[in-house]
Structure formats: C-alpha cells, structure tokens
Structure 1
Amino acid sequence: MAITSANRLELLQIAESVAREKMIDADLVLQAMEESYAKAAKSKYGAELDIRAYIDRKSGELEMTRVRVVIAEEEAENMYTELTIEEAKAYKENPAAGDLIIDQLPPMDFGRIGAQSAKQVILQKVREAERARQYDEFKDREGEIINGLVKRVEYGNVIVDVGRGEAVCRRDQLVNREMFRNGDRIRAYIKEVRSEQRGPQIFLSRTAPEFMAELFKMEVPEIYDGIIQIKAVARDPGSRAKIGVISFDNAIDPVGACVGMRGSRVQAVVNELGGEKIDIIPWNEDAPTFLVNALQPAEVTKVVLDEDAERIEVVVPDEQLSLAIGRRGQNVRLASQLTGLDIDIMTEAEESERRQKEFEIRSKLFMDTMNVDEVVAQLLVSEGFTNLEEVAYVEIDELLVIEGFDQDTAEELQARARESLEEINAKAIAEARELGVDQSLIDFEGLSPQMLVALGKDDVKTLEDFATCADWELAGGYTTLNGERIKDEGVLESYDVDLAEAQNLIMRARVQIGWVTEEQIAQDAADAEAEAATDADTAEEAGA
C-alpha cells in the first residue's frame, strides 16, 4: 500500500467522494486518513514512537514524520519520544527544551494488516464526524414538526428515516390504534435530541400537547403571525383534546380562526391525529371564567376559587353532572390540565345539602354558646354571622338591621357573646398552661387562646420556640413531590392564618427576643423589593 505519484490525486478524490456521500467536511476525511496512516506506520516501526502523517490538500503528497521532544533533563525518560539537549545537538544547532526534532520517514508499504487497520480508523472517524454533523443539525430543531418515512418497526417502536439520520417514536408516544408499516409517511414532533455514545438519538412524539399546538400553527396563519396565541393545550391522545386560544386583535375571533371556513382548519388537524376530537376554547385571564369555558359543553351555575390551594369548586345542574365529568372523567380531567387547577364538581342538590349542614352547625353554635332559641340563631346565620367574635364586636347597627331586633335585644346578644367568649378563652388559657405553654408566649400579641392550645399540642411552648418556626409550619402550604402537590398542614391554618400573617408574627417574635431589629427587617424588605424590580427590568429587556 505504498502511495505512488499515480494515485496521490486519487486520494483527494476519494476523500471528496466520501465527504459528499456522508455530507461531512472533506478535511475531516483527510484528517481521518492521516490518523490511519500514522497508526499503520506505528504498527511497523513501533507503537511507542510519535509518528505523524500529513496529506497535502492540493497535491495529495503523503508525508510521514517521526517527532521527538527536546527535554532539559540529563537523561530522557522515554527514548522513543524524547531527546536530551546533548543528543539533540546532533540534529539541530543550539537546541532548547521544548523544541521538536522531526525526522522524515521513507515511503513504505504498509502491508495487508496495516491497510486493514488504516481502513478501520478511517471508517471510525468518518462515523464520528457523521454523528457530530447529525447532532449539530437536529439539536436546534427540538420543538419542530418533522416528516419522515417509516424505516422499520421494532417492538412497537417506530424507527423513522428523517433524511440525514434516524429518529425513533416510542410506542408510548404513538396515538392509540395507530399502526405504521415500512415505507409509510409519518409526521411527528421532535421532543428531544440527545448526544449519546452510539450517536445522536432523536426522539419523536405524536402524543405531546406541543404536537397539536404546532399543527395548528401550520394550519392557522394568524397563529404563525402571532395575532392569535395558543395559551394551553390538554390532550387525551387519540380521543379528545382541549386548546385555549387568545386573540390580540379584537377584530379576529380566535375560535373561529382556528376552526376555519366550514371547519377546514381544525379538520386538517383532526385528520392528522386520527380523528381526535378537539374543543377550541377562548382563553381568559380570570381562572373561573376560563374554567367555565373549559368545561363546555356542560353548563356551570357557580364557581368558587381557592387560589392558595389551587383548587376550584364547580356547581352544575343535577342533569349536567355526567356531561361535566365526561366519559371516565375525561372532560373534567382535560379541563383540570388546561387550567392547572384541581377541580371539585358537585350538583346543585349536593351544594344545597352542604350549605344546609353548615347552616345547622352555625345555628347550633349560637344556640349552645349564647343560650338563644333556634329562631334567633337562624336569623344571625341568615345575616352572615359565622362565629361569636363577629356577634360580640360588630357595630351594633349591623344587628339592628335584622328584622325583630331592637336596641335591647342587640345589646343583650353582644353581652352574651362576649361573656361566652371570655369563658371559652379562659378555659383555653388554662389548657395551654397545662400543656406547658410559657407566659412569654401567652402574653405575645396576635395569638388567641385557641391558637396557644394548638401551639402547645405541637410542642411550641415558648416565644423562642415560636420564633424558630417557618411561616409554612404555621399557615400550611403545598410541596410538589414527583409532580404531585402534597398538602402541608399548618398548626394555625384552621384559624385562617395565611403565610403573610404567619411571617409577620414570627418576625415580631424575633424582634421581641432581640434576634433581629426593626431596621434590619426594613432593610431586607427594601433589598428584596429592589432585587425583584431588577429581575422584572431584566425580563422586560429580554422580552423586548
């Protein structure tokens, strides 16, 4: 395998041909050849030597050299790749440490084994270059839709020829009942591109919500132009989907634009997704309004939103319950995914029964604690009074507006309510002391006797104990674990203490103990506000 003058140019032609076939840079092929020749030469002269090959990019001339490094030590550690300064003087005048001594090697015949080894190196390097080129091409295409041909099907996974590489659409990323055969055309969403040992891995999906959003972008010019925006997508692949859209042009109806003339636009998406039914819903910033739209075709009579818990309670007519829930809970599940809220659905009858129970419980509370008859108790509940504190400390005029209540009756009711509260609070203080609650905590302003009992039961018995609490330990909160929101019960949550109030109580306790000062708290708040303003400005500039 000696390189003669007759085949030097042929070497360059071969490199060019391989580069075109594999769609990589020709110089990469020549570098692979150089490395292969160097490896083959080492197999003849010795693997310990530093042998390098260089192919002239114009003439195809192959130059083989042996390289040694000049070192400052008196004796070379590696006689094959190093020379001392004294030894180097035989090859170069005034050698210095770090100089390279390069010896030209004569033309050689690599032999069959050397040629085979060179071929393997070339193939390996070309494969690596091809993989790098594929990864560079597809890494920036995540989030796009791609068309390809089914190459083969392995254990339900579809291998797709995407032109300059292969992609895989796993079985769980295919819509139910879809069957593909070799040679079928397939359209899918590029979900992920990973660089792995065996080459770039391109993962496709036909079940991702983003796939539907991209299909609508292709079918609806207003979405592509940014006039209409897709705000949320929820899918039960192959069965049903909901998509929330908003228009930034008041003259354009977002739902109508997505449906198209006689449903042509939405039908094109439905056909691509194998008949998946699609509900197009107008987006609204108001969560309850958006949910009412999302639960269509069911009618909603009442919505109660709990923003802290990210839950929403929906009341529907009795005959609409099955429609609102949908087959196997599909309608409410998709609406929940679309809005990002947990949804509780109840009928008007169930809601009426619950309200009746609450009415009875509150009426009994007033009857037992204030020693009033059922009629008076029910009148108080009907007017919106829910606890003793409201009756005891409300402006007396609010009691006088109740039909049948005069000045004496109102004053008597307030007196009874206050007396009952004092009795209840005294019992609670006594119980707190029995639990070991310290006087410093009892005297701390902002905690009711009932709160002190709850804290004592949770082993928070001194002002120092209270000051070490976190706000969520008092007010409660939510922790996300494995994608699921888990409720953290707060010690004072049942007393309507929110996070802001809990934080305020804790900081006041720390100030009272002397752990921090009012000035430090004010400075921390100012720093946090300034940082938030800076982050907002940065985000605005990035958006611009």
Structure 2
Amino acid sequence: MNADMLQVADAVAREKSVDRELVLESMEQALKTAARRTYGTKVVEASIDRLTGEIALCHARTVVEEVEDEENELTLEEAKELDASAEIGSVFREPLEPIQLDRVAAQTAKQVINQKIREAERARVVAEYEPRVGEIVVGIVKRVERGNVYVDLGRGEGVMYREDLLPRESFRQGDRVRTYLREVRNQPKGALIYLSRADAGMVLKLFEQEVPEIQDGLVTIQAISRDPGSRSKIAVISTDVGVDPVGACVGMRGARVQAIVNELHGEKVDIIEWTEDPAAFVVNALAPAEVERVLVDEDNGSIEVAVAEDQLAIAIGRRGQNVRLASELTGWTVEIMTLGDEKQKRENEVQAAKDAFVSGLDIDEDFSLLLINEGFLTLSDLAYCAIDELTAIEGLEEELATEIQNRARNSLLNSALKEDGDDEPLVALMDIEGMSADIAEALTLQGIVSANALADAASDEIEPIAGVDEERLNTLIIAAREACGWFKE
C-alpha cells in the first residue's frame, strides 16, 4: 500500500505535468482533512515518506504562555516536563493510530487532491504562457463549439472566440493553426489563454518572422492598422540608410509579403514608409490614391486632403476603409474632399474672414485680403497673436498693428456682450493682471473671450493650457474676479 502511494503520485505528476512533490503534499493535505472525521478538533499533521511511502499521523500541540485550547496547547511548565529545552512556540508531536478511510472520507480526500492539482496546473499554465503574450504560437484545433475554436498548445489549451477569427475563416478538429497569443488570464475555474488571428499584433509578428531586417533591428514597424480579413496598413522605417524598409518587407518578387498574405487568406497588406512629416505620412498612407493638396490643422489634429474627382473613391475606399485605416495608422483625423469642394470651402472661409474683418475691424476689402493672405482667418487670430506677427507684414507699422489688434479684441468683446444679453460691462482678457497673449489666445479658442467669462469659470472646467499649471490658472481666475469687481464692497 505504501509503495502504491508513491506510484500513484508519480503517475498523477506525469499525467498532469505537475511536480511530484506537489502531488505528495496534496495527498498529505487530503489525509489531514480525512483525519478530522476520526480525531475531531485535534490538530493533526500527516506525512508521507518520500522513499518508502510510509504514512505517519501525529497530534501537534503548541507551547503557549496562556492555554486557550487545552487539547492542542500546553503551558511552558508542562512542556519542560516533557523536554527541558522547550520554549514558547515549540511544537510537540504525538503519534496517532492510522485511520481507515470510509467512502465519505475517501471522496473528501479525492476532492482535496484534485483541487490542489487544478491549482498547480493553473499556476503552471500562467507561468509558462504569460511571458509569451504578444507572440505567435502554433497549436492543433481540439474542438469547435458555437463558432469558438479551442486549440491544443501542447501544455495548455487556448481559445479563439468568433470575433478573433478572420471573416469566412473556419477550422476543423485536427487542423494546425498559427495564432497570436493575446492574453493569459488566471481565473478560479482555470487559466484561460486567449488567442486571436484578427488582432493587429498578428500581422506585426508575421512580419517579424518573415523579414530578417526586422529581426536584426535594421527595419522597425512604427505603426499598424488593420481591418481583419480585408486590408492592413503598416508603417515602417529603416535605421540604416542603406536599407529600403518597404523593399525589405516586400521581399524579392514580393515573396515575403505574399507569405503573410497567404497566411491571412488573401488579406491585402499596404506597406508604407514612415516619416515625421504628417502631411507626407498621410499622403503615403492613402496610397494607392493620388493626393493633390494637403492642409494640416495641428491645433485640432486633423488633415484635409484634396484629390481629383476620379481619385475620390480610391482615397475613401470601400465603405470608407482606406481613409479609416490611414487615419488609424497616422493618428490624424483625415478629411477627404475633391479639388472642387476644397476650392469652394476655401472661398467660403475667405469670404467669411473678409466679412468679419470688414465689419469687425472697420477696414476695406483690400486690407482684409492682405491679412487673410498672411494666414489670419478669424478675429481671434488677430486679437491674441504676437504683435511681431503683424508687424512682419509688409507696410504694417507697429502703431497700425496695435490698432488692428485692439479693434479685433473690442469686436470680440462686443460680440460676447450681445450674446450674453445683460448689462454687465465686459472686461478684456488682456486687462487681467498676469495675463499673457498666449494664454488669452488659448482661452479664446475655448470660448472664454472676456475676463467676465474667466471669472465665472472653475479651473477644472478649462482644458489644459501648455505652460500653465493649476496654481497659475487659479491665480488668473482670482485676478479676473478682481478685475470684474467681485470683491468690491
């Protein structure tokens, strides 16, 4: 019987791929649990000899200063009678008679052993696969249930849910499959290994496997966007001037990228050279469409792209796919329009600016067009720009530039007054102590065009302004309230 215990432990350890010592510890815990039915409230310890398989049970009693559990504790004086070297915390163990496992006790012991082994299996799977998150793993399809694919990875089982598969992709039991290890989650019912073939990381890792230059660090994938099963775009850059990043990824006669396309069942892959210039990057990302003009709006993080009429459908792509992927790849909001639409939009913007300048600044159309041609399109642009930007215009002296700026600010204040519809006199932002032109411009862009509006605001209602921390913003708000007469008696 004793030798059988060791044989059982060895067999379970091999079958479950867990440590033999852990199985024996589980058996000892099971014996302790079963012994409670025989020995009641006694603290029982069980041990299995690792060489002979001999089972030993003992009653453990602890030496304490004041006894609260007479059955399992003893005083130091009592302990000294048994062993002169005893001290507080010492444990005395008295052998107990072996127990006979009835059906209930045996079932309890079995549950304890199974629980311990499941915990060990879960910990082993997590320890083995968690460091591999973000890698491509190979497995065999074990079963398919309700569209979800369960994959045998050798020492663990992974699952690909329906949304992690490519469209129209199906697997059968026994199929060999390459997947992206997306996540490992340790749950009470067992460790779950989440796999995916639709994740953008799948494309990235396939390129790393197929392109030696990426493995060597000569080519780097900077960004990736993907519409699984249809099209992917990747942006690459070379760290060596002698290496063409796009050519390296395409391979001789397209062999490298074709291998990836085949693995993804025909999914198209656009390889784009990454550049720091956002306009050039967006133009590259919209390929194969030909772009005529690009306008970058850094403040709003958007880019307007004008294309010829016959290129509009190509630039937008089927169901907006091309422009959507380009936007995800570059991180910019991309707006596509035809040359005609772009021209009409520019004309509308110029006309609106011209009307605002003529009426708001009391200047003629020629002067307003001069300002527009220099890039000023709103009264706010004029009101809170650096005075140097205006004096840089040919023929515009500092005195006239200052007058134009003051008129722009007054016009904005008058507009705000009409919108507010009350009799409270408005105070200009620049009349606030400590206010700078840059901060005033940033506030104006947020719709705070007067000291009155700033006085009514709270710091957490104002979007962050570069170079202005919360303490300074609160100081400006207090200064605005002082300028508006809040603290006058």
Taking structure 2 as the reference length, the TM-score comes to 0.82
Which residue does 2:486 correspond to in 1?
A: none
**Paired AA for residue 264 in structure 1:** A
- 1:255 and 2:246 aligned: yes
Q: Would you say the 8 A contact 2:350–2:377 is kept in 1?
A: no
Matches within 5 A, 1:234-273: 234-273=225-264
Match of 2:10 among 16, 19, 44: 16
Match of 1:122 among 113, 127, 130: 113
Q: CA offsets per residue over residues 188-226 of structure 1, 9 Å max, x none?
A: 111000111011110001111011100111111111121
Matches within 5 A, 1:273-284: 273-284=264-275
Match of 2:304 among 313, 322, 337: 313
Decide whether aligned partners of structure 1 residues 323 and 447 sit closer, same or farther in structure 2, where only a CA change above 3 A counts: same
Q: CA offsets per residue over residues 34-82 of structure 1, 9 Å max, x none?
A: 1222223332232x11111112222322221111123322xx4333322
Decide whether aligned partners of structure 1 residues 139 and 126 sit closer, same or farther in structure 2, where only a CA change above 3 A counts: same
| CA distance in 2: counterparts of 1:512 and 1:395, whole angstroms | 30
Matches within 5 A, 1:487-502: 499-500=466-467
Which residue does 1:60 correspond to in 2?
A: 53
Matches within 5 A, 1:418-437: 424=411, 435-437=423-425
Which residue does 1:43 correspond to in 2?
A: 37
Q: CA deviation at 1:136?
A: 1.1
Decide whether aligned partners of structure 1 residues 155 and 357 sit closer, same or farther in structure 2, where only a CA change above 3 A counts: same
Q: Would you say the 8 A contact 1:463–1:509 is kept in 2?
A: no
Decide whether aligned partners of structure 1 residues 343 and 386 sit closer, same or farther in structure 2, where only a CA change above 3 A counts: closer
Where 1:289 maps in the other structure, the secondary structure is helix
Which residue does 2:459 correspond to in 1?
A: 470
Where 1:140 maps in the other structure, the secondary structure is helix
Match of 1:444 among 422, 427, 432: 432
Q: CA offsets per residue over residues 124-182 of structure 1, 9 Å max, x none?
A: 32222222212211111111111111111121111111111211111111111011111
Matches within 5 A, 1:244-393: 244-365=235-356, 368=359
Stretches of structure 1 lacking an aligned partner (at least 5 in a row): 1-6, 401-409, 478-497, 516-544
Q: Would you say the 8 A contact 2:455–2:480 is kept in 1?
A: no
- 1:140 and 2:136 aligned: no
Matches within 5 A, 1:101-116: 101-116=92-107
| CA distance in 2: counterparts of 1:418 and 1:41, whole angstroms | 92
Decide whether aligned partners of structure 1 residues 463 and 426 sit closer, same or farther in structure 2, where only a CA change above 3 A counts: closer
Q: CA offsets per residue over residues 441-464 of structure 1, 9 Å max, x none?
A: 78436589x99x989x97976699
Q: Would you say the 8 A contact 2:417–2:426 is kept in 1?
A: no
Q: Would you say the 8 A contact 1:370–1:416 is kept in 2?
A: no
Decide whether aligned partners of structure 1 residues 287 and 11 sit closer, same or farther in structure 2, where only a CA change above 3 A counts: same
| CA distance in 2: counterparts of 1:52 and 1:373, whole angstroms | 100
Decide whether aligned partners of structure 1 residues 100 and 186 sit closer, same or farther in structure 2, where only a CA change above 3 A counts: same
| CA distance in 1: counterparts of 2:315 and 2:130, whole angstroms | 42
| CA distance in 2: counterparts of 1:104 and 1:416, whole angstroms | 103
Q: Would you say the 8 A contact 1:70–1:97 is kept in 2?
A: yes
Which residue does 1:191 correspond to in 2?
A: 182
| CA distance in 1: counterparts of 2:405 and 2:54, whole angstroms | 106
Which residue does 1:31 correspond to in 2?
A: 25
Taking structure 1 as the reference length, the TM-score comes to 0.74
Decide whether aligned partners of structure 1 residues 330 and 28 sit closer, same or farther in structure 2, where only a CA change above 3 A counts: same
| CA distance in 2: counterparts of 1:353 and 1:57, whole angstroms | 88
Decide whether aligned partners of structure 1 residues 499 and 124 sit closer, same or farther in structure 2, where only a CA change above 3 A counts: closer
Q: CA deviation at 1:31?
A: 0.9
Q: CA offsets per residue over residues 234-293 of structure 1, 9 Å max, x none?
A: 110001111111111222211111111221111111111111011111111222111110
| CA distance in 2: counterparts of 1:415 and 1:459, whole angstroms | 18
Where 2:142 maps in the other structure, the secondary structure is strand
| CA distance in 2: counterparts of 1:183 and 1:368, whole angstroms | 77
| CA distance in 2: counterparts of 1:283 and 1:292, whole angstroms | 11
Where 1:279 maps in the other structure, the secondary structure is strand
| CA distance in 2: counterparts of 1:97 and 1:194, whole angstroms | 44
Which residue does 1:70 correspond to in 2?
A: 63
- 1:157 and 2:148 aligned: yes
**Paired AA for residue 195 in structure 1:** N
Where 2:174 maps in the other structure, the secondary structure is coil
Decide whether aligned partners of structure 1 residues 30 and 341 sit closer, same or farther in structure 2, where only a CA change above 3 A counts: same
| CA distance in 1: counterparts of 2:24 and 2:119, whole angstroms | 14
Q: Which moved more, 1:196-205 or 1:247-256?
A: 247-256
Q: Would you say the 8 A contact 1:44–1:110 is kept in 2?
A: no
Q: Which moved more, 1:80-89 or 1:170-179?
A: 80-89
Stretches of structure 2 lacking an aligned partner (at least 5 in a row): 483-489
Q: CA deviation at 1:91?
A: 4.1
Decide whether aligned partners of structure 1 residues 336 and 513 sit closer, same or farther in structure 2, where only a CA change above 3 A counts: closer
RMSD, aligned α-carbons: 4.1
